[in-house]
Amino acid sequence: MAIVLYHHPFSRAANTVWMLEEVGVEYELKLVDIMAGDQKKEDVTKLNPMGKLPLLVDGATVVTESAAIGLYLAVCYAPGRLAPKLDDAARGTYFRWSLFAPSVIEPGSMGQGRQLGVSRRLRRLGQLRRHDRDDGIGHLWP
Ligand SMILES: N[C@@H](CCC(=O)N[C@@H](CS)C(=O)NCC(=O)O)C(=O)O
């Protein structure tokens, strides 16, 4: 059975698609329209009570959190290629840098962004884009 990725192109699930391609496994995408709030519907929340993407289902295994999904795919499907083998001393460095962005950079930049009012500015920019776009996908912008 193919891996299923609950996905929206303007979300962190895009990184997971990249990872799936790197790993080279079969997968199918299940589009969840986060602009319409579909990530809070039961088919998603019964698998991820936080109602967020990405969400990966591999048979009986459910994985959420984009970094965890990347590590899961590398360790399970590309050991020795995209993840060091179990006896490789490089595993410490591998896990450190794999988790550096979500555990250090992201919380720091979110805090800075809040102080600077970035999300308010981005929302305003989104409004401008929504009205200016004529390519038919303007409604997908936040
Ligand atoms: N730390 C989580 C963040 C998940 C997250 O916030 N996902 C966003 C899309 S990038 C989402 O689902 N937002 C919709 C919502 O929060 O309702 C991860 O890295 O997977």
pLDDT in tens, 88-133: 999 999 999 999 999 999 888 888 777 777 777 777 766 655 555 5
* 142 assigned to some structural domain: no
How many domains is the chain partitioned into structurally?
2
For ligand 1, is residue 48 a contact (CB within 6 Å)?
no
Is pLDDT above 80 for 58?
yes
| Nearest atom, ligand 1, residue 39 CA | 17
Of the chain, the percentage scoring pLDDT greater than 90 comes to: 73
Q: Are both 100 and 61 inside the same structural domain?
A: no
Sign of CA dihedral 23, 25, 28, 30: negative
Q: Are both 77 and 15 inside the same structural domain?
A: yes
pLDDT confidence of residue 4:
98
3-class DSSP state of 122:
helix
What number is the average pLDDT over the span 55-81?
97
| CATH number (domain holding residue 32) | 3.40.30.10
Q: Are both 59 and 2 inside the same structural domain?
A: yes
Q: Are both 47 and 116 inside the same structural domain?
A: no
pLDDT confidence of residue 113:
77
How far apart CA 61 and CA 128 sit, in angstroms, is 41
For ligand 1, is residue 16 a contact (CB within 6 Å)?
no
Is pLDDT above 80 for 78?
yes
Catalytic positions: 11
Q: Are both 76 and 98 inside the same structural domain?
A: no
Residue 62 belongs to domain spanning:
1-83
What strand order describes the sheet that includes 27-31?
27-31, 3-7, 55-58, 61-64
How far apart CA 85 and CA 5 sit, in angstroms, is 25
For ligand 1, is residue 34 a contact (CB within 6 Å)?
yes
For ligand 1, is residue 65 a contact (CB within 6 Å)?
yes
Q: Are both 133 and 112 inside the same structural domain?
A: yes
Q: Are both 96 and 119 inside the same structural domain?
A: yes
3-state helix, strand, coil in the chain (%, to 5): 55, 15, 30
3-class DSSP state of 63:
strand
pLDDT confidence of residue 49:
97
pLDDT confidence of residue 116:
78
Q: Are both 28 and 93 inside the same structural domain?
A: no
Q: What is the CA(26)–ligand 1 centre distance, in A?
A: 24
Q: Are both 79 and 18 inside the same structural domain?
A: yes
| Nearest atom, ligand 1, residue 52 CA | 12
